[in-house]
C-alpha cells in the first residue's frame, strides 16, 4: 500500500540522490567552463586584433593554407569562382569572412561548404588575414 510517508521517503531519496550527483558534477562543470573562457564550445578562438590580421607571418601562413584548401574554387589569389575577385572587396569585415569559411553559405546555385571542424579556427583566421591582404591589390 502506498502511503504519504512512503512517498515522502521516496521523494527524499530522489532529492538526496539528485543533490549528490549535482555535488559531483559541479567541479567538473566549473572546470570545463573555466577552460572555455576564451573559446566557444566548438573550439573557436576569439577574433584576432587588426594588428594580427595585418601580420606578414599570419598572412603568409594564411596564403599557404588558402592555396592548399581554397584555390581549387577561388584561385590562388581569390580571382576565380562565382564571386567577384577578393581584391575588389575593400573594407571587408573579417568576422563576415571568418563566418562564411566556418559556416559556409548558399546563394542560389553558389554553394560554399562549411569548413568548421575541418580547418582549426586559428587557421581560418589566418586565411582571413590572407584574403584581407588581397584587398585593392592590382591583378
Tens digits of per-residue pLDDT, 33-58? 334 333 344 455 689 999 999 999 99
Q: What does each C-alpha distance from 61 to 47, 94, 103, 133 come to in angstroms?
A: 17, 16, 21, 12
d(CA 76, CA 68): 9
Bridge-partner residues for 119, per DSSP?
116
Q: Report DSSP state, residue 106.
A: E
Kindly tell me if the per-residue pLDDT of 7 is higher than 70. no
What is the C-alpha to C-alpha distance for residues 7 and 5, in angstroms, rounded to an integer?
5
Q: Is the pLDDT of residue 17 over 50?
A: no
Q: What is the pLDDT of residues 67-122, one digit of tens each?
A: 999 999 999 998 887 778 999 988 889 999 999 999 999 988 888 999 999 999 99
Q: pLDDT confidence of 61, banded at 50, 70, 90? A: very high
Q: What is the pTM of this model?
A: 0.67
Determine the pLDDT at residue 1.
Answer: 59
- Residue 55 CB neighbours (<10 A): 16
**Mean pLDDT computed over 1-18:** 50
Q: How confident is the model at residue 126 (pLDDT cuts 50, 70, 90)?
A: very high
Amino acid at each position: 500500500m502506498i502511503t504519504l510517508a512512503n512517498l515522502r521517503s521516496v521523494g527524499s531519496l530522489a532529492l538526496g540522490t539528485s543533490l549528490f550527483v549535482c555535488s559531483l558534477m559541479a567541479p567538473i562543470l566549473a572546470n570545463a567552463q573555466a577552460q572555455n573562457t576564451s573559446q566557444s564550445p566548438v573550439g573557436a578562438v576569439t577574433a584576432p586584433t587588426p594588428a594580427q590580421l595585418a601580420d606578414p607571418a599570419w598572412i603568409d601562413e594564411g596564403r599557404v593554407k588558402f592555396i592548399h584548401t581554397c584555390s581549387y574554387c577561388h584561385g590562388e589569389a581569390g580571382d576565380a569562382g562565382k564571386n567577384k575577385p577578393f581584391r575588389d572587396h575593400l573594407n571587408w569585415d573579417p568576422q563576415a569572412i571568418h563566418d562564411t569559411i566556418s559556416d559556409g553559405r548558399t546563394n542560389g546555385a553558389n554553394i560554399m561548404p562549411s569548413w568548421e571542424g575541418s580547418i582549426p579556427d586559428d587557421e581560418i583566421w589566418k586565411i582571413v588575414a590572407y584574403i584581407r591582404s588581397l584587398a585593392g591589390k592590382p591583378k
